Amino acid sequence: MSADHVELPVPRPEITLTRDQVHTLVSQFPDLEIKSLQRMAVGWDNAAWLVNEAWVFRFPQHSGAATLLAREIAVLPRLAGRLRLPIPLPEFVGRPLGDYPWPFFGARLIPGSELAEADLADTDRVGIARQLGAFLRRLHEPALAAEFVTSVRRRPERSDVARSLPRDMGRLEAAAAGLWSIPTRARELIADATRLPPALDLVLVHGDLHVRHLLVDGSANLTGIIDWGDVAIAHPSVDLQIGWSGFSGEARQAFLAAYGGIPDDWALRALVSALFYSATLALYARRDGASRLEREAIAGLERAMDDQA
Protein backbone atom coordinates (compact mmCIF):
# COMPACT_ATOMS: atom_id res chain seq x y z
CA MET A 1 0.00 0.00 0.00
CA SER A 2 1.43 3.39 -0.97
CA ALA A 3 1.14 6.70 0.85
CA ASP A 4 -1.12 7.96 -1.93
CA HIS A 5 -3.64 5.12 -1.70
CA VAL A 6 -4.11 4.47 2.02
CA GLU A 7 -7.64 5.01 3.31
CA LEU A 8 -7.92 7.81 5.86
CA PRO A 9 -11.05 8.35 7.98
CA VAL A 10 -11.73 11.95 7.01
CA PRO A 11 -15.44 12.71 6.61
CA ARG A 12 -16.26 15.08 3.81
CA PRO A 13 -17.89 18.37 4.84
CA GLU A 14 -21.65 18.21 4.74
CA ILE A 15 -21.87 21.99 5.09
CA THR A 16 -19.38 24.70 4.09
CA LEU A 17 -20.41 28.00 5.63
CA THR A 18 -20.07 31.31 3.82
CA ARG A 19 -19.09 34.51 5.56
CA ASP A 20 -22.69 35.75 5.42
CA GLN A 21 -23.96 32.53 7.02
CA VAL A 22 -21.40 32.78 9.82
CA HIS A 23 -22.38 36.41 10.39
CA THR A 24 -26.03 35.39 10.71
CA LEU A 25 -25.24 32.56 13.13
CA VAL A 26 -23.04 34.72 15.36
CA SER A 27 -25.64 37.51 15.30
CA GLN A 28 -27.85 35.43 17.59
CA PHE A 29 -25.75 36.82 20.47
CA PRO A 30 -26.98 40.41 21.03
CA ASP A 31 -24.18 41.19 23.48
CA LEU A 32 -21.54 40.53 20.81
CA GLU A 33 -21.36 43.32 18.25
CA ILE A 34 -19.59 41.96 15.17
CA LYS A 35 -16.92 44.46 14.16
CA SER A 36 -14.70 42.09 12.21
CA LEU A 37 -15.10 38.54 10.95
CA GLN A 38 -12.55 36.38 9.18
CA ARG A 39 -12.07 32.71 8.50
CA MET A 40 -9.26 31.49 10.70
CA ALA A 41 -8.82 27.82 9.77
CA VAL A 42 -10.63 24.87 8.24
CA GLY A 43 -9.83 21.49 9.73
CA TRP A 44 -11.04 17.96 9.18
CA ASP A 45 -14.02 18.42 11.52
CA ASN A 46 -14.63 22.12 12.12
CA ALA A 47 -14.28 25.52 10.53
CA ALA A 48 -12.95 28.24 12.84
CA TRP A 49 -13.85 31.90 12.39
CA LEU A 50 -12.28 34.81 14.27
CA VAL A 51 -14.70 37.47 15.52
CA ASN A 52 -13.41 40.91 16.54
CA GLU A 53 -9.89 39.44 16.63
CA ALA A 54 -10.80 38.13 20.10
CA TRP A 55 -13.27 35.25 19.81
CA VAL A 56 -12.86 31.96 18.00
CA PHE A 57 -16.12 30.39 16.83
CA ARG A 58 -15.98 26.73 15.80
CA PHE A 59 -18.60 25.30 13.48
CA PRO A 60 -18.91 21.55 12.85
CA GLN A 61 -18.79 20.65 9.17
CA HIS A 62 -20.41 17.21 9.46
CA SER A 63 -22.67 15.34 11.88
CA GLY A 64 -19.81 13.38 13.49
CA ALA A 65 -17.99 16.61 14.28
CA ALA A 66 -21.17 18.00 15.79
CA THR A 67 -21.18 15.10 18.28
CA LEU A 68 -17.58 15.85 19.24
CA LEU A 69 -18.24 19.55 19.63
CA ALA A 70 -21.28 18.88 21.82
CA ARG A 71 -18.98 16.88 24.09
CA GLU A 72 -16.64 19.90 24.36
CA ILE A 73 -19.56 22.16 25.23
CA ALA A 74 -20.48 19.79 28.07
CA VAL A 75 -16.98 19.12 29.43
CA LEU A 76 -14.80 22.20 28.91
CA PRO A 77 -16.65 24.55 31.30
CA ARG A 78 -16.09 21.99 34.07
CA LEU A 79 -12.37 21.77 33.28
CA ALA A 80 -11.51 25.39 32.56
CA GLY A 81 -9.45 27.00 35.32
CA ARG A 82 -8.58 23.66 36.92
CA LEU A 83 -5.66 22.75 34.69
CA ARG A 84 -2.22 24.24 34.37
CA LEU A 85 -2.73 25.75 30.92
CA PRO A 86 -5.52 27.57 29.10
CA ILE A 87 -8.12 25.51 27.27
CA PRO A 88 -11.09 26.79 25.24
CA LEU A 89 -14.04 27.89 27.36
CA PRO A 90 -17.34 28.00 25.46
CA GLU A 91 -18.77 31.37 26.46
CA PHE A 92 -21.14 31.73 23.51
CA VAL A 93 -23.05 28.53 22.76
CA GLY A 94 -25.02 28.83 19.56
CA ARG A 95 -28.12 26.95 18.51
CA PRO A 96 -28.99 25.56 15.07
CA LEU A 97 -30.40 28.27 12.83
CA GLY A 98 -31.81 28.27 9.32
CA ASP A 99 -30.06 25.67 7.17
CA TYR A 100 -27.34 25.09 9.76
CA PRO A 101 -28.44 22.10 11.91
CA TRP A 102 -25.86 21.88 14.71
CA PRO A 103 -24.75 23.69 17.88
CA PHE A 104 -21.51 25.68 17.78
CA PHE A 105 -19.55 27.74 20.26
CA GLY A 106 -17.33 30.77 20.66
CA ALA A 107 -14.38 30.93 23.06
CA ARG A 108 -11.81 33.59 23.77
CA LEU A 109 -8.83 33.40 21.44
CA ILE A 110 -5.88 31.54 22.97
CA PRO A 111 -2.80 33.19 21.48
CA GLY A 112 -0.12 31.12 19.81
CA SER A 113 0.51 28.96 16.79
CA GLU A 114 0.39 25.20 16.38
CA LEU A 115 3.54 23.40 17.45
CA ALA A 116 3.35 21.72 14.05
CA GLU A 117 3.84 25.12 12.41
CA ALA A 118 6.43 26.56 14.79
CA ASP A 119 9.54 24.98 13.23
CA LEU A 120 11.13 24.49 16.65
CA ALA A 121 14.21 22.30 16.93
CA ASP A 122 13.99 19.45 19.42
CA THR A 123 16.53 21.22 21.63
CA ASP A 124 14.21 24.25 21.85
CA ARG A 125 11.26 22.21 23.14
CA VAL A 126 12.46 21.53 26.67
CA GLY A 127 10.30 24.20 28.29
CA ILE A 128 7.24 23.18 26.30
CA ALA A 129 7.78 19.54 27.26
CA ARG A 130 8.06 20.43 30.95
CA GLN A 131 4.85 22.49 30.84
CA LEU A 132 2.99 19.73 29.03
CA GLY A 133 4.17 17.04 31.44
CA ALA A 134 2.87 19.04 34.40
CA PHE A 135 -0.40 19.71 32.57
CA LEU A 136 -0.98 16.00 31.91
CA ARG A 137 -0.06 15.08 35.47
CA ARG A 138 -2.97 17.22 36.65
CA LEU A 139 -5.36 16.08 33.91
CA HIS A 140 -4.63 12.41 34.67
CA GLU A 141 -5.27 12.60 38.41
CA PRO A 142 -7.66 9.79 39.43
CA ALA A 143 -9.85 12.19 41.39
CA LEU A 144 -10.49 14.23 38.26
CA ALA A 145 -11.43 11.12 36.30
CA ALA A 146 -13.90 10.18 39.03
CA GLU A 147 -15.78 13.43 38.44
CA PHE A 148 -16.22 12.74 34.73
CA VAL A 149 -16.69 8.98 34.67
CA THR A 150 -20.43 9.25 34.06
CA SER A 151 -20.30 12.13 31.57
CA VAL A 152 -17.64 11.13 29.01
CA ARG A 153 -17.02 7.94 27.05
CA ARG A 154 -15.09 5.10 28.62
CA ARG A 155 -12.59 3.89 26.01
CA PRO A 156 -10.07 1.38 27.39
CA GLU A 157 -9.66 -0.06 23.87
CA ARG A 158 -7.73 3.06 22.81
CA SER A 159 -4.51 1.52 24.20
CA ASP A 160 -5.19 -2.02 22.94
CA VAL A 161 -2.47 -2.31 20.29
CA ALA A 162 -3.48 -5.81 19.18
CA ARG A 163 -7.05 -4.69 18.51
CA SER A 164 -6.09 -1.71 16.34
CA LEU A 165 -3.01 -3.29 14.75
CA PRO A 166 -4.39 -4.07 11.25
CA ARG A 167 -5.55 -0.48 10.72
CA ASP A 168 -2.58 1.19 12.37
CA MET A 169 0.02 -1.06 10.80
CA GLY A 170 -1.52 -0.40 7.41
CA ARG A 171 -0.97 3.32 7.87
CA LEU A 172 2.56 2.82 9.13
CA GLU A 173 3.41 0.63 6.14
CA ALA A 174 1.85 3.21 3.81
CA ALA A 175 3.92 5.98 5.35
CA ALA A 176 6.99 3.80 5.02
CA ALA A 177 6.26 3.24 1.33
CA GLY A 178 6.93 6.85 0.49
CA LEU A 179 7.88 8.85 3.56
CA TRP A 180 9.89 6.84 6.10
CA SER A 181 11.79 3.59 6.51
CA ILE A 182 10.50 1.39 9.37
CA PRO A 183 13.42 0.22 11.54
CA THR A 184 13.51 -3.42 12.59
CA ARG A 185 13.43 -2.22 16.20
CA ALA A 186 10.07 -0.53 15.59
CA ARG A 187 8.53 -3.78 14.39
CA GLU A 188 9.91 -5.58 17.46
CA LEU A 189 8.43 -2.99 19.82
CA ILE A 190 5.06 -3.18 18.11
CA ALA A 191 5.10 -6.96 18.49
CA ASP A 192 5.95 -6.55 22.19
CA ALA A 193 3.07 -4.12 22.64
CA THR A 194 0.53 -6.55 21.16
CA ARG A 195 1.33 -8.95 24.01
CA LEU A 196 0.54 -6.45 26.77
CA PRO A 197 -2.51 -7.28 28.94
CA PRO A 198 -5.61 -5.06 28.83
CA ALA A 199 -5.01 -1.62 30.33
CA LEU A 200 -6.54 -1.15 33.78
CA ASP A 201 -5.29 2.31 34.77
CA LEU A 202 -7.92 4.61 33.25
CA VAL A 203 -7.94 8.39 33.63
CA LEU A 204 -9.43 11.46 31.97
CA VAL A 205 -7.56 12.02 28.69
CA HIS A 206 -7.57 14.72 26.03
CA GLY A 207 -7.76 11.88 23.54
CA ASP A 208 -6.21 13.54 20.48
CA LEU A 209 -3.07 15.20 21.78
CA HIS A 210 -0.75 15.89 18.89
CA VAL A 211 1.31 18.75 17.48
CA ARG A 212 -1.65 20.51 15.87
CA HIS A 213 -3.44 20.82 19.19
CA LEU A 214 -0.57 22.38 21.17
CA LEU A 215 -0.29 26.16 20.90
CA VAL A 216 3.08 27.85 21.46
CA ASP A 217 4.35 31.42 21.42
CA GLY A 218 7.47 32.99 19.94
CA SER A 219 9.42 32.33 23.13
CA ALA A 220 8.81 28.57 22.98
CA ASN A 221 6.22 28.57 25.75
CA LEU A 222 3.10 26.43 25.67
CA THR A 223 0.10 28.78 25.62
CA GLY A 224 -2.84 26.38 25.43
CA ILE A 225 -4.35 23.02 24.51
CA ILE A 226 -7.19 22.98 21.99
CA ASP A 227 -9.62 20.55 20.26
CA TRP A 228 -11.08 18.42 23.05
CA GLY A 229 -13.71 16.53 21.09
CA ASP A 230 -12.12 13.15 21.84
CA VAL A 231 -11.97 13.64 25.61
CA ALA A 232 -12.58 10.27 27.28
CA ILE A 233 -11.80 7.93 30.14
CA ALA A 234 -8.90 5.87 28.81
CA HIS A 235 -5.34 4.78 29.52
CA PRO A 236 -2.83 7.61 30.12
CA SER A 237 -0.67 6.42 27.21
CA VAL A 238 -3.32 7.80 24.83
CA ASP A 239 -2.00 11.25 25.77
CA LEU A 240 1.53 10.30 26.80
CA GLN A 241 2.36 9.36 23.21
CA ILE A 242 3.06 13.07 22.65
CA GLY A 243 6.15 12.58 24.83
CA TRP A 244 7.56 10.37 22.07
CA SER A 245 6.09 11.95 18.93
CA GLY A 246 6.69 15.56 20.00
CA PHE A 247 9.90 15.38 22.02
CA SER A 248 13.20 13.56 22.24
CA GLY A 249 16.40 13.67 24.29
CA GLU A 250 16.46 16.35 26.99
CA ALA A 251 12.95 17.51 26.13
CA ARG A 252 11.48 14.05 26.68
CA GLN A 253 13.38 13.74 29.94
CA ALA A 254 11.83 17.05 31.05
CA PHE A 255 8.38 15.84 29.99
CA LEU A 256 8.65 12.61 31.98
CA ALA A 257 10.17 14.31 35.01
CA ALA A 258 7.32 16.83 35.12
CA TYR A 259 4.74 14.08 34.70
CA GLY A 260 6.29 12.05 37.50
CA GLY A 261 7.66 9.01 35.72
CA ILE A 262 5.74 6.14 34.18
CA PRO A 263 5.91 2.30 34.24
CA ASP A 264 7.68 0.50 31.41
CA ASP A 265 4.44 -0.84 29.95
CA TRP A 266 2.98 2.67 29.78
CA ALA A 267 6.11 3.82 27.97
CA LEU A 268 5.82 0.98 25.45
CA ARG A 269 2.15 1.74 24.78
CA ALA A 270 2.99 5.44 24.37
CA LEU A 271 5.93 4.80 22.05
CA VAL A 272 3.96 2.50 19.75
CA SER A 273 1.02 4.89 19.76
CA ALA A 274 3.41 7.69 18.80
CA LEU A 275 4.51 5.70 15.75
CA PHE A 276 0.95 5.16 14.60
CA TYR A 277 -0.12 8.74 15.36
CA SER A 278 2.83 10.20 13.47
CA ALA A 279 2.29 7.90 10.48
CA THR A 280 -1.36 8.92 10.27
CA LEU A 281 -0.50 12.63 10.50
CA ALA A 282 2.16 12.20 7.82
CA LEU A 283 -0.34 10.60 5.46
CA TYR A 284 -2.94 13.30 6.14
CA ALA A 285 -0.31 15.96 5.48
CA ARG A 286 0.87 14.34 2.26
CA ARG A 287 -2.72 14.09 1.01
CA ASP A 288 -3.51 17.70 1.89
CA GLY A 289 -0.19 19.18 0.73
CA ALA A 290 0.66 20.40 4.26
CA SER A 291 4.45 20.38 3.97
CA ARG A 292 5.26 21.65 7.48
CA LEU A 293 2.95 19.13 9.10
CA GLU A 294 4.43 16.38 6.95
CA ARG A 295 7.96 17.27 8.08
CA GLU A 296 6.84 17.43 11.71
CA ALA A 297 5.07 14.07 11.48
CA ILE A 298 8.07 12.35 9.91
CA ALA A 299 10.25 13.90 12.62
CA GLY A 300 7.76 12.41 15.11
CA LEU A 301 8.46 8.94 13.71
CA GLU A 302 12.17 9.52 14.20
CA ARG A 303 11.66 10.88 17.71
CA ALA A 304 9.64 7.84 18.73
CA MET A 305 12.63 5.66 17.94
CA ASP A 306 15.04 7.86 19.89
CA ASP A 307 15.67 5.96 23.13
CA GLN A 308 17.91 8.59 24.70
CA ALA A 309 15.34 9.33 27.41
* pLDDT score of 214 more than 90: yes
Percent with pLDDT over 90 in the chain: 80
Beta bridge partners of 92: 106
Q: What is the pLDDT of residues 254-308, one digit of tens each?
A: 999 999 989 999 999 999 999 999 999 999 898 888 999 999 999 999 999 997 4
Q: Based on the domain organization, do 140 and 258 belong to the same domain?
A: yes
Which of 84, 108, 132 terminates a domain? The answer is 108
Q: Based on the domain organization, do 149 and 282 belong to the same domain?
A: yes
Question: Which of 218, 234, 258 lies closest to 157, judged by CA?
Answer: 234
Q: What CATH number does the domain containing 291 carry?
A: 3.90.1200.10
pLDDT level of residue 309 (50, 70, 90 thresholds): very low
Q: Based on the domain organization, do 232 and 155 belong to the same domain?
A: yes
Q: How many domains, the chain?
A: 2
Residue 2 lies in a domain: no
Residue 201 lies in a domain: yes
Res 4: pLDDT: 53
Residue 245 lies in a domain: yes
* pLDDT score of 167 more than 90: no
Q: How far, in Å, CA of 293 to CA of 118, rounded?
A: 10
Q: Based on the domain organization, do 160 and 258 belong to the same domain?
A: yes
Res 200: pLDDT: 86
Q: Based on the domain organization, do 262 and 135 belong to the same domain?
A: yes
Contact 72, 231 (CB under 8 A): yes
Res 144: pLDDT: 95
What is the enclosing helix (H) or strand (E) of 154? Answer: strand 153-154
Task: Please tell me whether residue 51 adopts helix, strand or coil conformation.
Answer: strand
For all residues of the chain together, what is the average pLDDT?
93
Res 5: pLDDT: 53
Res 247: pLDDT: 98
Contact 69, 58 (CB under 8 A): yes
* pLDDT score of 102 more than 90: yes
Q: Based on the domain organization, do 218 and 243 belong to the same domain?
A: yes
Q: Based on the domain organization, do 203 and 59 belong to the same domain?
A: no
Which of 45, 78, 108 terminates a domain? The answer is 108
Q: Based on the domain organization, do 222 and 270 belong to the same domain?
A: yes
pLDDT level of residue 162 (50, 70, 90 thresholds): confident
Q: What is the pLDDT of residues 22-71, one digit of tens each?
A: 999 999 999 999 999 999 988 889 999 999 999 999 999 999 999 999 99
Q: How far, in Å, CA of 78 to CA of 95, rounded?
A: 20
Q: How far, in Å, CA of 101 to CA of 44, rounded?
A: 18
Q: Based on the domain organization, do 94 and 151 belong to the same domain?
A: no
Res 1: pLDDT: 47
Q: Based on the domain organization, do 58 and 163 belong to the same domain?
A: no
Mean pLDDT throughout 244-255?
A: 97
Contact 159, 199 (CB under 8 A): yes
Residue 175 lies in a domain: yes
Chain centre distance of CA 31: 32
* pLDDT score of 11 more than 80: no
Tell me which long-range contacts 27-36 makes (C-beta under 8 A, separation of at least 24).
28/94, 28/95, 28/97, 29/92, 29/94, 29/106, 32/92, 32/106
- Residue 143 CA: distances (Å) to CA of 72, 147, 204, 237, 303: 20, 7, 9, 18, 32
Instruction: Record the pTM.
Output: 0.93
Which of 108, 126, 144 terminates a domain? The answer is 108
Residue 200 lies in a domain: yes
Q: Based on the domain organization, do 97 and 153 belong to the same domain?
A: no
Look at the chain and count its residues. Answer: 309
Res 229: pLDDT: 94
> By residue range, what is the domain housing residue 97?
19-108
* pLDDT score of 7 more than 70: no
Residue 178 lies in a domain: yes
Q: What is the pLDDT of residues 64-96, one digit of tens each?
A: 999 999 999 999 999 998 998 999 999 999 999
Residue 176 lies in a domain: yes
Res 160: pLDDT: 87
Mean pLDDT throughout 181-199?
A: 93
Q: What CATH number does the domain containing 91 carry?
A: 3.30.200.20
Residue 199 lies in a domain: yes
Contact 206, 139 (CB under 8 A): yes
Q: Strand 153-154 and strand 232-234: pairing? A: parallel
Q: Based on the domain organization, do 183 and 130 belong to the same domain?
A: yes
